């Protein structure tokens, strides 16, 4: 029997979203009477007063696997259960539009949803599944913080971008005898920082999972200069915490956004090092959204395509309420409940990556 599938991309964008969409559309085209529709700007396309849902055919997705971003747009605000609504007095409230979504979904004859997104989006997938929607989740995020999968797509591209930037900072740091602090994304997970530090040959790597002591970092920097290296490169994750356990950032300002805006910990560390008395010229570079933009590397194009094809296969087999995952070398699936049980953070005590980093002399600012 044919199936009508609604595809949404939710949360922050990342390289590989279009490759997933292409994989979905091309695989669905091999089934008799399976049709794919894009819900524009995550679920806003079906929730807004003016519905915005677009048919996606093979010609619509031709060649898009090399493009960054998402052709059906995304948002990390709101959603079916917290839809932002402006009041006559100009203020905003949120309302639950999930029943409206179900009504419209049924009226338009949809059978299933593929929701491509990170932990926030997959929590929405789970809630939708509980309401009776046939949902399959696809894990996306540069942060790599979703459990049950070796990697989320987008992550390897972010690491590549960060490493390329880091390599450039190393040459200028060594020319000027400077200390460079490069701040990378990742929210509460240190995966981007840790991989970049090892790939780039950093002296110091600060991640959220290992609280840092600035005095230990200052000693590491001092020893670099005493040993005549004359420069030092530090990677710090945006969610890094000093011994007080506090993250650096600002409260969300956009309506419907529940996340603290992380950022500024690189400058904070610089100030801490200067307060300790470090006299070297310290410069901070914040990579920001560069890590989320542009062309996905080949690895992410492959993973994203595998995820897209598998999502359609799960729908064909009516294996709903699941999220596709990658456990080398297999692409399979786990229940949404299982996928969301706990996040995927670096586990310092058992991590081979942390052991490797320490093995090549990288300091985490903890000992």
Interface residue list for ligand F6P (CB under 6 A): 12, 76, 118, 141-143, 185-187, 238, 261-262, 292
Q: Which residue has the tokens 């926030």?
A: 120
Residue 143 catalytic? Answer: yes
Residue 115 CA to residue 55 CA, distance in Å, equals 16
Residue 6 CA to residue 28 CA, distance in Å, equals 12
Find the shortest distance in angstroms from Cβ 187 to ligand F6P.
Answer: 5
Residue 75 CA to residue 105 CA, distance in Å, equals 20
Max distance between CA atoms of the chain, in angstroms, equals 72
356, two tokens: 């490797």
Which is closer to ligand F6P, CB of 45 or CB of 208?
208
Residue 331 CA to residue 302 CA, distance in Å, equals 11
Find the shortest distance in angstroms from Cβ 152 to ligand F6P.
Answer: 10
Find the shortest distance in angstroms from Cβ 225 to ligand F6P.
Answer: 32
Which is closer to ligand F6P, CB of 77 or CB of 310?
77
Q: Which helix (H) or strand (E) holds 283?
A: strand 282-286
Helix (H, G, I), strand (E, B) or coil at 169: helix
Report the DSSP pairing between strands 135-139 and 112-117.
Answer: parallel
Q: Cα dihedral sign for 189, 256, 113, 303?
A: negative
Which is closer to ligand F6P, CB of 12 or CB of 200?
12
Which is closer to ligand F6P, CB of 230 or CB of 293?
293
**Residues 141, 335: contact at Cβ < 8 Å?**
no
Find the shortest distance in angstroms from Cβ 26 to ligand F6P.
Answer: 27
Find the shortest distance in angstroms from Cβ 14 to ligand F6P.
Answer: 7
Which is closer to ligand F6P, CB of 211 or CB of 263?
263
Q: Which helix (H) or strand (E) holds 314?
A: helix 298-316
- Number of residues that make up the chain: 367
Find the shortest distance in angstroms from Cβ 30 to ligand F6P.
Answer: 33
Which is closer to ligand F6P, CB of 230 or CB of 256?
256
191, two tokens: 């995966």
Q: Of these residues, 13, 111, 143, 300, which one is catalytic? A: 143
Nearest to 136 by CA among 331, 301, 292, 300: 331
Find the shortest distance in angstroms from Cβ 213 to ligand F6P.
Answer: 24
Which is closer to ligand F6P, CB of 262 or CB of 309?
262
Q: Which residue has the tokens 């596709």?
A: 324
Find the shortest distance in angstroms from Cβ 76 to ligand F6P.
Answer: 5
Which is closer to ligand F6P, CB of 221 or CB of 265?
265
Q: Under 8 Å CB-to-CB from 288, ≥6 apart: which residues? A: 185, 263
Count the Cβ atoms, other than its own, within 10 Å of residue 25. 26
Mind giving me the DSSP string for 180-204?
A: EEEEE--TT--HHHHHHHHHHT-SE
> CB burial class (10 A; 0-12, 13-18, 19+) of residue 105?
buried
Q: Which residues are catalytic?
A: 143
């Amino acid at each position: 029997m044919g199936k009508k599938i609604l595809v949404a991309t939710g949360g922050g964008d990342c390289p590989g979203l279009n490759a997933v969409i292409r994989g979905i559309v091309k695989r669905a085209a091999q089934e008799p009477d399976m049709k794919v529709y894009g819900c524009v700007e995550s679920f806003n396309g079906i929730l807004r007063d003016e519905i915005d849902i677009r048919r996606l055919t093979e010609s619509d997705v031709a060649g898009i696997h090399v493009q960054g971003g998402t052709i059906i747009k995304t948002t990390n605000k709101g959603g079916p259960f917290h839809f932002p609504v402006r009041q006559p007095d100009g203020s905003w409230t949120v309302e639950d539009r999930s029943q409206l979504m179900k009504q419209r979904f049924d009226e338009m004859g949809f059978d299933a949803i593929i929701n491509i997104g990170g932990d926030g989006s997959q929590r929405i997938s789970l809630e939708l599944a509980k309401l009776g929607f046939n949902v399959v989740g696809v894990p996306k995020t540069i942060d790599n913080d979703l459990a049950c999968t070796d990697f989320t797509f987008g992550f390897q591209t972010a690491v590549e971008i960060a490493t390329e930037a880091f390599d450039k900072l190393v040459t200028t740091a060594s020319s000027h005898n400077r200390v460079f602090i490069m701040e990378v994304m990742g929210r509460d997970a240190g995966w981007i920082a840790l991989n970049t530090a090892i790939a780039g040959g950093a002296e110091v790597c600060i991640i959220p999972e290992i609280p840092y002591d600035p005095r230990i970092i200052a000693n590491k920097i001092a020893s670099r200069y005493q040993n005549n290296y004359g420069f030092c490169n530090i990677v710090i994750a945006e969610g890094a915490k000093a011994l007080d356990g506090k993250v650096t950032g600002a409260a969300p300002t956009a309506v419907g956004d529940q996340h603290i805006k992380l950022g500024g910990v690189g400058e904070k560390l610089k100030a801490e090092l200067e307060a300790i008395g470090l006299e070297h010229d310290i410069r901070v570079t914040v990579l920001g959204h560069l890590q989320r933009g542009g062309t996905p590397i080949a690895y992410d194009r492959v993973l994203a395509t595998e995820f897209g094809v598998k999502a359609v296969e799960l729908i064909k087999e009516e294996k709903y309420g699941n999220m596709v995952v990658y456990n080398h070398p297999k692409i399979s699936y786990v229940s949404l409940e299982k996928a969301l049980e706990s996040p995927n953070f670096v586990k310092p005590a058992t991590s081979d990556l942390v052991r490797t980093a320490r093995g090549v002399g990288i300091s985490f600012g903890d000992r």
